[in-house]
Structure 1
Amino acid sequence: MAYPEEDPPEVSILLLGDAGVGKSLFLSRLTLGRDAPPDAKLPRLRDLDQPYPFNIRMYNRPYRFEFSDTASPTNYTLLRPSVIIMCYSIGDPESLESLQKTWKNVVETHFNYDESMPVIVLGLKRDVRSKADYGGNVNEKRQFVYPQEALRIAQEMRCDRYCECSALTGELCREVFEDIAKTAAMTTTSNGGKTQGTECSVM
């Protein structure tokens, strides 16, 4: 079946998470496209320009993905996303705990209109883990989150996917965007975008 190029399906995607976890930087990286070099300069985005549109082609048809985050000029609780991405900083264990204590409740309270809506957990600032100097001293506070720890929490929250990347270095950003794009595209089908159990995209 042919789809008109000028009328691609639109999928609204909302990023939730504490301030400072890296949502804006991740969106900035996405604007460069999937083939941008890791050292490309990241543009500064304006909150007033949300939602940020991304036009791509998948499965021989065009799609338009519209990304917003908690700084949206429209109160984010009033948005009607088709996909939710709960974000935390790998360099801030408390921001992962906040997904359980705060943001899961936000999702269940304000976005419970669609039980088939996929929810993704995204770990940002992956580069922090490789830079961390953690000697294992029991009195030393760990400054990063292990991937298996975050995956366990994503599974406990019954989220559909877990993935992580570094917007600063570009590490795994292409793979994460492809995961998000596939999930978003599936929401336009009769089967919806939910998966059977949590999938993990960590390399």
Structure 2
Amino acid sequence: MTGPPEVTILLLGDAECGKTAFLSRISQGSDKQASKEPIRQLRDGDQPFIFDIKFYNRPYRFEFYDTGSPENWTLLNPHVVVLCYDISSRLSLINVQRVWVKEAKLAFATRTDLPILLLGLKRDLRSETDPNGIIYPQESYRIAQELRCDKYMECSATTGELMGEVFEDICKTAAMTTTAKGGLSEGGCSLM
């Protein structure tokens, strides 16, 4: 008997943009009680971070890889790529536009079936004191459309806000890649 399908999800983005905190919070649970506890950070050496979940009455094994370095991920064959940025850092979003999306498209140029998602992290740090201006969801959604991402999402690992919804959305997209329909969105970027 074979095990559940193994689905690889690659998180790309600048160091310190919140990828590890996101995965660490998910590993603790995204409920209200877990968000009141301090985040216990996962270690890079423990990758892939594995989550066994049931979707559509079928078990899946989701393997998350978290990296801020192209040398570490170019040999992977992901089912989904999640481009991550820090909502409180405009430079982080600029790097997604100028560096990360290009690196991903270059590394996976032959993949026409690869869903690419845009994820804004550290939602709780969106403030009006950023000297480079606030990054509102509308702007991020527009950028996701320009980058031809399949979906835009945002959440906060610190407060737990939208964590469960974002994790579920990523996993549903990843699960869809194992079907004949695939995980690409119909008609472009959708907002979550």
Q: CA separation in 1, counterparts of 2:38 and 2:66? A: 21
The corresponding residue for 2:191 is 200
CA distance in 2, matches of 1:190, 1:34: 30
Q: Structure 2 matches for 1:47-126, cutoff 5 A?
A: 47-70=44-67, 75-126=72-123
- Gap regions ≥5 residues in structure 2: none
User: Is contact 1:82–1:184 with CA below 8 Å preserved after alignment?
Assistant: yes
**By how many angstroms is 1:71 displaced?**
5.5
The 3-state SS of whatever aligns with 1:184 is: helix
Deviation at 1:163, TM superposition (A): 0.2
CA distance in 1, matches of 2:22, 2:32: 13
**How far apart are 1:35 and its partner, in Å?**
3.5
- Runs of 4+ in structure 1 deviating by more than 3 angstroms, as ranges, are none
Matched residue type, 1:200:
L
- CA-CA distance at 1:77 after TM superposition: 1.4
In the alignment, does 2:152 pair up with 1:186? no
Match of 2:141 among 124, 127, 151: 151
Q: Is the 8 A contact 1:85 1:122 kept in 2?
A: yes
Task: Provide the secondary structure at the position in 2 that maps to 1:174.
Answer: helix
Q: What SS does the aligned partner of 1:28 have?
A: helix
* Cα pair distance change 1:87/1:181, threshold 3 Å: same
Q: Distance in 1 between matches of 2:32 and 2:64?
A: 19
- What are the equivalent positions in structure 2 for 1:18-37 lying under 5 Å apart? 18-35=14-31, 37=33
Cα deviation digits, residues 21-79 of structure 1 (max 9, x gap): 1111001011123446221332221111100000011111111000001158x821111
Q: Give SS of 1:194's match.
A: coil
Distance in 2 between residues matched to 1:39 and 1:128, nearest whole Å? 17
* Identity score, percent: 52
The structural deviation recorded for 1:96 is 0.7
Q: Which moved more, 1:35-44 or 1:59-68?
A: 35-44
Cα distance in 2 for partners of 1:26, 1:149 equals 22
Post-superposition shift, 1:165? 0.1
* Unaligned 5+ runs, structure 1: 135-139
In the TM superposition, what whole-angstrom CA distance separates every residue of 1:87-143 from its partner, at most 9, and x where no partner exists?
A: 0010001111111110111011102232111000000000011xx244xxxxx8235
What letter matches 2:109 in structure 1?
A: N
* Structure with greater Cα Rg: 1
Query: What residue identity is the alignment partner of 1:198?
Result: C
How is 1:132-143 mapped onto 2 (pairs within 5 angstroms)?
132-134=127-129, 141-143=131-133
1:92 and 1:185 map into 2 onto residues whose CA distance is: 31
Structure 1 residue 16 and structure 2 residue 12: aligned?
yes
For 1:34 and 1:99, locate their aligned partners in 2 and report how far apart those are by CA, in whole Å. 26
- C-alpha distance in 1 between matches for 2:14 and 2:173: 23
Per-residue deviation, residues 156-196 of structure 1 (Å, max 9, x unmatched): 00000000000111000011011101101100001110001
Alignment length (residue pairs): 189
